[in-house]
Chain A
Amino acid sequence: MSNAVSSLAVPAPGSKASEPEIRFEHVTKTFGRSESDLFRAVDDLSLDVYPGQIVALLGKTGCGKSTMFNMIAGLLDPTEGKVLVSGRDPFRNFDWYRGKIAIVFQNDRLLPWRTAIENVELGLEMLNVPGAQRRETAQRWLSRLGLGGHENDYPHALSGGMRQRVSIARAFATNAGLLLCDEPFSALDEMTAQRLREEFTSLVRENGKTAVFITHSINEALQIGDRIVVLKRPAKIAYDINLTADLGSAEKEAIREKIRDVLSA
């Protein structure tokens, strides 16, 4: 098994996906105003993510995963280098990505003054989708995620798992091509998280989305990703591997061991 950086992270020969959906070109991101309090969150990072991939970004706390995430989302601008999403700079072309990127956050971030269905409709409202169509789409996604009958419940009346399902429905409802997920199941109990992971991956694959999934759990990365990128601190690729569907348990265990070694190095 190879552990060469990025060597396995390119599309398979003959693949139609030659243009990356996300490209990091020697990206560095620093915080702080003066040299003395300068904090380097991302250091000369280069990474390509291809359409249809589910990439699990794995790393210890504070390794710059969220900074990378915010740069893809267009919320942060790199200090050096270039971030491109669908060939454009997401920070400078912020509005161009309306309806093209959807985010599932670590906590559900539901608007407390909106019912479950109204929360799912939020992204569709930004796209000016007519009311009836909006409601029908939101209803369909809530039902798909097992929340039929809870449409008119306010967030405070839902359990943590149900609220996170609503936030997943909200992300899928806009039919965005790129999904960004920031440890969305880390606050849930293992049983609920396991069920939601399965639902999430099948939804991403069924709908042909590209997904970047931030996690600090090796098991979660192995379960969700068809590619795992391990980051060292500050964010720089330490290990990058594509996973195939027919991976045996012995091979998975070997990958798990390798990731452990990289993380503890």
Chain B
Amino acid sequence: MPLYREGAPSGLVVEDPWLRLADDAAVPADGMVLVSFARWREARAALLARRGPVGVVLANTDPVEALAADVSRLDLMVLHFPKFSDGRAYSQARLLRGRFGYQGELRASGGVLQDQIAFMLRCGFDSFESEQKGFGEALAKARTLFSVVYQPTEDGRSPASLLRLKRRNVLVS
């Protein structure tokens, strides 16, 4: 599956350095491994004891709260969209980024289409697996689609309400 990363040169597919481990596969001693949420819960200590970064793949029904204490130990989290119209992972993303302070790569997988990118960026996703033609070009433009936003979210953009207040205060002072 082609992988795209925000900030990569326009339209470019980036290489995926992560080894996606089946639940019954042996854990290599080093390298970047990506495991399921179930595997993580079961083998957390062993995974952390090895050399090399660990990432976790979550189903959109997995409780992200269970990862709150480990966000600084994980370098990748993959959130899944079983269909593009199933929006549960948007909430997971905002909780991971906003509430638990996760700083690593946050990847969207599954039904990931270019018309959702602007929403995904606002919720804190920064990498994307997509088979859609033109996805990379769309990603490069996605941040400029809307120069105004109404909600404060994890992307740190100032919503219109805040900008209005600032403008008013400048006028007053």
Q: Is B a genuine binding partner of A?
A: no
Q: Name A's B-contacting residues (CB within 8 A).
A: none
Report which B residues bind A (CB closer than 8 A): none
